[in-house]
Amino acid sequence: MCRRPSSRPHRASPAEPSRGRADTRGLLWRFVRSARADGLLAETCLLLRRATGWAPEQYSAWLRHTLGRVLEAPSR
């Protein structure tokens, strides 16, 4: 006998979302460290500056702001 799937959606336990955010932050930190070590951030800087016409200071401000928002976002 087959059971019909429940029509109610799965609800995450309260710990699941914050654990997922913590895991994501960890992944991003590892990516940034790796990208910095292999020169990818420097290459990205050059390409983005050429594409946007930004000065080095503008790129640095954008990168700090963007990574800061992603990596330091509080877990809710």
Q: Does residue 76 carry a pLDDT above 70?
A: no
pLDDT band at 15 (very low <50, low <70, confident <90, very high): low
| Residue 4 resides in a domain | no
Q: How far apart are CA 73 and CA 34, in angstroms?
A: 21
The range of the structural domain enclosing residue 49 comes to 24-72
Q: pLDDT tens digits, residue range 35-75?
A: 889 888 888 889 999 999 999 999 999 988 988 887 776 65
Amino acid in the structure at residue 46 = L
| Residue 31 resides in a domain | yes
E strands within the chain? none
| Residue 63 resides in a domain | yes
Q: How many angstroms separate the Cα of 54 from the Cα of each of 4, 63, 67?
A: 57, 12, 18
Q: Report the domain count for the chain.
A: 1
| Cα angle for residues 10, 11, 16 (degrees, 5° grid) | 120
DSSP state of 38: T
| Residue 57 resides in a domain | yes
Q: How far apart are CA 62 and CA 53, in angstroms?
A: 13
